[in-house]
Amino acid sequence: MLASTYATLQDNSTHGEDSFLVRDLGGGNFLDVVLDGVTGHGGGEASQGVAEALETASIASTGDLIAVLEDQNAEFFQVGGGRFLLTTITAALMLDGTVHVIHAGDSPFYHIQTDSFKQLAGRIGGLLRPGATKVLGSSEELSLSSVEITVAAGDRLLLATDGISDNLPTAELVQAVRDAASPDEGASRIKSMVETRLEHGLVPEQLGGRYRHDDQTAILRFFGSS
C-alpha cells in the first residue's frame, strides 16, 4: 500500500498574503493546497478565506473541491468586482491512488521522480504554462486547469508559491527535493537556498538577475510503501 509523509515551509513576512492547507481525508487520501494572494488586491483575505473554506468542507471528489472554489470565486467577484479579493490556487487532491492537480494562476506544482520530473503549473522561463488560468476572484466565471497523475513509491510532489520558484531555477529546486532523505530535509534545503539567494543576490539571469522579495510557501510530499 502506498503511504506518504509531508513537510511544509512558509515565510509570510513580506506581504502576509500566502496561505496553505494540508488535510488528511482518511484512507491514504489527502488535500494539499497552496494559495498566493495578489498583493495590493486583498490577497491575504482571499487566500485565507479559500483555505478556511476547504478545511471545513466535505471533500470526497474533485466535484466537491471545484464547488467550493466556485462558491469562493463568486463571492470574491461579487464583492471585489474582479479587482479585489484575488488569489492563486494550486491543489493536489489524492483520491484512491490518483492525484488530481487543480490550479488557477501561477503557483507551481512539480511531480518529481527518480530520473525525471514534470512541472504541471506555474511559470517556466518567466512565461505562464499554456492553459494557465486567471486567479480566483478575477472573473465572474471561474476557469480552472486540471490534470490527473499516478504516483508510485519514490515519487515526490512539490507545491509552491512564486516567492520560491522566482528565486530558484527549476533544476536546482527539483534536485534539492530529489536529494533529500525526507520532506523535512527537503524543506530545510529549499529554505537555505532561498536565504542564500537573499544574502548574496545570486539569482540567475533567467530569473531576472535579482532577488524577488515575496512570501514563500511550499508543501513537500514524499511517497513510499507502508
Write the pLDDT tens digit of every residue in 164-178. 998 888 999 999 999
- Nearest-angstrom CA–CA distance, 223 and 215: 27
What pLDDT does 225 receive?
A: 84
CATH code of 2-225, in short, is 3.60.40.10
Q: What are the CA-CA distances from residue 147 to residues 78, 83, 144 (Å)?
A: 28, 28, 10
**pLDDT tens for each residue of 105-157:** 999 999 999 999 999 887 665 544 444 568 999 999 998 999 999 999 999 99
Chain-centre distance for alpha carbon 114: 21
What pLDDT does 50 receive?
A: 98
What pLDDT does 203 receive?
A: 54
**pLDDT tens for each residue of 190-209:** 999 888 877 665 555 554 55
Under a CB-based contact definition with an 8 Å cutoff, are residues 91 and 32 in contact? yes
Query: Which of these, 87, 113, 84, 118, lies nearest to 101 by C-alpha position?
Result: 118
**pLDDT tens for each residue of 61-102:** 999 999 999 999 999 999 999 999 999 999 999 999 999 999
156: cell is 515526490
Question: Where along the chain do its domains lie?
Answer: 2-225
What pLDDT does 48 receive?
A: 98
For residue 60, the tally of other CB atoms under 10 A from its CB is 12
What pLDDT does 169 receive?
A: 86
What pLDDT does 197 receive?
A: 74
What pLDDT does 212 receive?
A: 77
What pLDDT does 210 receive?
A: 60
